[in-house]
Chain A
Amino acid sequence: MANTHSDHPAHLQHHFVSSEQQFDAAKMGMWLFLVTEILLFSGMFVAYTVYRSWHPEVFVLSSELLNPWLGGLNTIVLLASSFTVALGIHFAQVNNKKGLVINLVLTFLFALTFLVVKYFEYTAKFEHGIFPGAAFDPHGVSHGVDYAMYNVPYARQFFSIYFVMTGIHGVHVLVGMGLFTWITIRAIKGEFSSEYYTPVENCGLYWHLVDIIWIFLFPLLYLI
């Protein structure tokens, strides 16, 4: 299939006329994909809004059980990872392979940190019977908080929404870690340069979206 002419760079696929066309197409495709991601989350945001407007007092009460310090820490971690991925794209554009690889690895580590913190948050909830769905049964006392107090009607909806939204967001973080592993390997092989860095740019765009969704999740679930 490869219809390579001598003037074609290796990364240029046969059905594109030029590198610019290929880059523009890939970037536009990525933006469209991000739109679909926003719509995917929008369903959950609507569910959140509906139940919050019906039972605001339950939502305020239930959100007390979420740890704003851990949520805040994760917000900082994700913001830092957005910064490192942006730096990575910059280093790709200026042909600095070392800078690119370091920043991609840092981004991966931040993503990992985020999931580790999330793991501790989830297990702390599970210990006290806070599960999504039928198993929801808050009980026990820790740090002077009596969990049984929070077993009120519609608290199940709050925590279902919390687990579904942060869970699906967490899946996106996991996918992001897979993507960063893949492009880090390619970066080490020296596949990216100022001529061709589309995958870095697109993974960066994806990562910013994952970050922005968290920026909305954090205040809605933890703070208000």
Chain B
Amino acid sequence: MSESASGPINYLSHDKSIKSWLLTLDHKRIGIMYLIAVSIAFLAGGILALLVRVELMAPGETIMSADAYNQAFTLHAVLMIFTFIIPAVPAVMGNFVLPLQLGAKDVAFPRLNLASFYIYLLGACVALGALVVGRVDGGWTFYTPYSTSVGDGILYITTGVFIMGFSSILTGLNFIVTIHKMRAPGLTWNRLPLFIWSIYATSIVQVLATPVIGITMVLLFLEKFLHIGIFDPALGGDPVLFQHFFWFYSHPAVYIMILPAFGIISDLMGTFSRHQVAGYKFVALSSVAIAFLGFLVWGHHMFVSGQSAISSTIFSLITYLIGIPTAVKVINWVATMYKGSVQLKTPMLYAIAFLFTFSIGGFTGIMLGVLAIDIHLHDTYFVVAHFHYVMMGGNVIAALGGLHYWWPKMTGRMFNEKLGKLAAALVFIGFNLTFFPQFIMGAQGMPRRYYDYLPEFQSYHLWSTYGSWVLGVGLFLILGYLIASLINGKKAGPNPWGALTLEWTHTTTPPHPHNFTETPIVTRGAYDFHLAKDLFAKGGEVSEVPSSAK
């Protein structure tokens, strides 16, 4: 391989044609393409969320009709869940980082990887076809018989979700095989970065749960199209069966959303505390435990759906169990910070914000798993607040942390640290301002998804809407300075954070098209800072990549 005048060749510079991007088999470029696609989805879903919040500032009609409101919150949910949050961390950071952290040249099946990107795009476009046909207004859960009795938009959404499911399955399958078969010599399971462990657990859920939503969408499609009578009670079908099928996927799916976030947080905690992640094996295996238990709790969405009391009790008890591996993680992260020497760089600020927001989301989740309390809180804003504390306070905040953490490796540029910290503060404050009032009004009886409400809830709605603006400003600020960093950002060294995982210690920034010119040999764990004195001889920041990586 030749070296160009501007330094060693990297995956961005070695071929700049559009075709080389669209047909690339390079996991790093596929990761970047996913990053652009899911960011657009996030932007679209976010704008819808802001509109929904503005509408709810006052009772009655504010800016849109009730019909438009129903479609707006449904589309917000469908976009955010199926086109943004499910692929966000696994497909963007998993793709970019996973082979690098494993010391592999690529994922096991690069062509399949590119195919899953285009399958995702196709599915997203088909789902958006519903926009043209209109009238999808029953929320993202598509409960029958309502979903099969309104307009044809549902046909597009179910087909889109079915297609995107394939993308999710193929990505998960690819990662499982890559983790099993492509680890560098010396990279034993006990030395794996915790991000890999959590992507592994996520992939298992993707592979096992997604086919079930696939067949559910096929059956829903046929119900709507041919009236096969499986889910529609008017034809002798059973709507509760639909809910079982739907939640058998969609509950594990929330672990597809949150497990990779756990992985990012573990990596950030280790790196920025400069310390071995406390209870490494427990943190690693708790991901697998959550993935496993996640399959056994779907009935807690159906406490008021006419499921038997004994099933509800069992589902409730298993739901409590999920709290154990989750608490194992949170406690070990706090212990890592306690034992380590914490550096408050921007990614770490997100990790710490995550501890607060995710813990609130987790605890309220256990509250909702309690049968009696759930009867009171079911279908109120309390559920909305809990869900957003886990999804946004969990996944999105962790994803932002991960994006800031890996940004220098992806682009070769540093972002503005001061603006980074400011934006992190705005996101944290805006997020809590948006969603905390929703816990209170939910507990007081404000139902979810309603267009209109009693005047006594208005002050909470008002605070929530103001919060959404702060959150929006924070997120747009991030978009702004990240794009600015591409133009005038400081050039990043190979290892600006002083991390110990292979993507930082053994690759150039940005990485070589084949990642490693020589297969790395791993001699220590992912966070064994006490064994890595050689890397830190010149003080805190590592500027040199070992000669073998050049």
Contacts and interface: CB of A to CB of B under 8 A. Distances in A.
A6 interface: no
Interface string A14-34: 111100010011101100110
Given A17-B519, A132-B222, A133-B227, A29 B211 contact: no
Nearest to A136: B229
B273 interface: no
Interface stretch (A83-91, A117-125, A150-158, A208-216): A150-158
B229 A133 contact: yes
In the A-B complex, list the 5 residue pairs whose CB atoms are closest, starting with the nearest: A133-B226, A43-B215, A160-B228, A15-B105, A39-B211
B181 interface: yes
24 contacts: A14-B105, A14-B514, A15-B105, A25-B109, A28-B177, A29-B174, A32-B173, A32-B207, A36-B169, A36-B208, A36-B210, A39-B211, A39-B212, A42-B211, A44-B215, A132-B222, A132-B228, A134-B226, A154-B236, A156-B235, A160-B226, A160-B230, A161-B230, A168-B218
A137 interface: no
Q: Is the interface of A mostly helix, strand, loop or mixed?
A: helix
A3 B26 CA distance: 13
B226 A32 contact: no
Contacts of B212: 39-40, 42-43
B181 A133 contact: no
A44 B217 CA distance: 12
A57 B208 CA distance: 33
A21 B513 CA distance: 21
A71 to B, nearest CB: 21
A11 to B, nearest CB: 14
Contacts of A29: 108-109, 112, 173-174, 177
Contacts of A43: 211-212, 215-216, 219, 245
Contacts of B219: 43-44, 47, 164
A134 to B, nearest CB: 4
B238 interface: yes
Contact of A47 (B107, B178, B241, B519): B241
Contacts of B216: 43
B106 interface: yes
A224 interface: no
A3 B25 CA distance: 14
Nearest to B181: A25
Interface string B106-130: 1111101000000000000000000
B182 interface: yes
B104 interface: yes
B299 interface: no
A25 B108 contact: yes
B207 A157 contact: no
Contacts of B178: 25
B59 interface: no
Given A15-B105, A29-B108, A32-B177, A47 B230 contact: yes
A37 B215 CA distance: 10
B180 interface: yes
B214 interface: yes
Chain B, interface SS category: helix
B471 interface: no
Interface in A134-178: 134-135, 153-154, 156-157, 160-161, 164, 168
Interface string B176-210: 11101110000000000000000000000001111
A29 B211 CA distance: 16
Contacts of B109: 25-26, 29
B237 interface: yes
Contacts of A24: 181
Interface residues of A, number: 40
A76 interface: no
Nearest to A32: B173
Contacts of B513: 1
Contacts of A40: 211-212, 214-215
B14 to A, nearest CB: 10
Contact of B211 (A1, A37, A161): A37
B149 to A, nearest CB: 14
A106 B372 CA distance: 62
A117 B361 CA distance: 56
Contacts of B174: 29
A14 B519 CA distance: 13
Contacts of A28: 176-177, 180-181
Given A15-B105, A29-B109, 5 more contacts: A15-B110, A15-B514, A21-B181, A29-B177, A164-B222
Nearest to B237: A157
A35 interface: yes
A133 B173 CA distance: 35
Contacts of B210: 36
Interface string A100-111: 000000000000
A185 interface: no
A13 B111 CA distance: 11
Contacts of A42: 211-212, 215
A110 B106 CA distance: 39
A65 interface: no
Interface string B225-257: 111111000011110010001000000000000
A217 B107 CA distance: 36
A25 B226 contact: no
A50 interface: yes
A23 to B, nearest CB: 10
A153 B237 CA distance: 11
A1 B177 contact: no
Contacts of A133: 222, 225-229
A186 B275 CA distance: 54
Contacts of B208: 35-36, 39
